[in-house]
Structure 1
Amino acid sequence: MQKFILLLIVLVLGSACSTRPKVPRGLPGEKKMAEILADVYQVESVLGQTRLSYNSGDEDRVSGYYKYVLDRHQINKAEFDTAMAWYSAHPVVLSDVYSEVIEILSRRDAELKNQMNKEKEEQKKLPKVPSRLELWSDTTVFHVPFDRADSLDNRVPYNIELDSISGGILRLYAGYTFKEGGFLDSAQMKMIALYADSTLDTIYYQIHKSFNKVNGNISHKIDAGKHVINVSGFLLEHDTTTATVVDIEEVKLNFIPTVGMERVDLQ
């Protein structure tokens, strides 16, 4: 930019004692030439920022930038070169053209900044949607069995009342480590999503026995227009007549809003 301004100063000083000629017919007028050069300058600014040049192996891409500018102004390279040769030979005219170029670029810069500020203000007006909501409020670690006589409780039931959630994904997660002394080969995670219209969805995830930690994960997308008011189920759904010994940890139940959700209300 500094070189550009220095060039302009030299042109202005050199034109002080010159007689102003008229632009020949067939060449872009001063205003049109200023618009073309403003676009060329912006292209060169982009090339400088992306470090592209004719020596960088991106000659076709660089040429494409310039060709786009010339095509936009309905002028070919030969015509542009002829125009530049004439304007360069008449610095008094070229200095006025570059003055107009500066005006154009300044105006574009101001318009861009105004647009960016406007978009920032619009973003501030948008409702802030949390990226993730934690619905699980109970302990996150369980050691099963709690009581060998209580087969229902050993399935680790859960029940979470909600006011209303919609437009997102329910995700239930837990880690399982089976211990010696149990006879259970596999179990399931179970989640029931109850909607405000009294319908429900039931989702399962199969957990296979392992003495190393295995992960269980249920993800359920809430249908458009649906509002979940209750989430319930079992962390360890299995045949209750079969004894099992398992550690359950890192239990999480998240609601992940998706774009376009209308609201998220939790009781």
Structure 2
Amino acid sequence: MKRKRRIQWYYSVILLAFGLTACQVKRPDTVISDAKMENVLYDFHIAKAMGEEVPYSESYKRVLYIESVYRKHGITQADFDTSMVWYARHPDALTKVYEKVNQRLKAERDGINHLIALRDNKPKESSPGDSIDVWRGRHICYLTGTPMDNKLTFTLPSDTNFKDRDTLRWTVRFRFLNGTPDSLHAPLMAMQVLYAKDTLNDMLKVKQSGTETISLFADTLGEIKEIRGFIYYPAQQSTRDVLADRISLMRYHAKDTLFKALADSLEAGDKELKKDPVPGKPAELKRQSEEKDTIRQRSERRPRPRLRQTTEKQ
């Protein structure tokens, strides 16, 4: 009896699996996958927006912008059209793809609005606090080395929440998707801080996957005016895409840095030196040292005997 029930249970599981398989939508091999379609549509809409801005006399550029998207993703217009027909017949799949595309376009729009605010000298003020992430750009950037996707740049003006001795740490995680490039074609990461009195900058080459950080700090250069930075990925001989994510730009006020602790330590040491002219010695040694100084001063003040001058008779 138990064996019969077990067999019936196995048959039920098999029938359920066949039923679920039959309910799934079968996708032809010629249809672009969801992940790739998201990237294609994202670049497609940016290219369309760029084409709408060109004057009528240069309308041919609109076609070139679209074709550059196809070349970037290794597809043809026929592949794109065929896939869009399939997605149009399956609105659930198309909706999921467009939700992700819209999120990326919104982030891009926020970045553009920030640049417009910079142009109009109306930047968004950073949040107050001793340890704050002031990064305002995209937190994920996909770089391929092509002209449309070979760099990430930012310009961040200071505001009333920035202090003179702030420490700025720009952190990015790099992940090479198709093997690491040679040192000649490695991505460059650079940051520059403009102060009232001078400028500090630092740059490094990213030669392997991992997290990279650039930290800049100045003690005597005065007020911070602006922070700039970029990631540049030179053109590659073969496709080696890199994903830059977990991007942050931390601002630390001086009391949260090692400099503050060092300054306090030096100040305390100066006070101790003034209070104790011979630090670290016991009272007896200090007394002996004072007695030696007194004896030396007395001997210097004591008049020395004059030597009698004699002359030899020739």
Q: TM-score, normalised by structure 1?
A: 0.41
More helix by share: 2
Q: TM-score, normalised by structure 2?
A: 0.35
More strand by share: 1
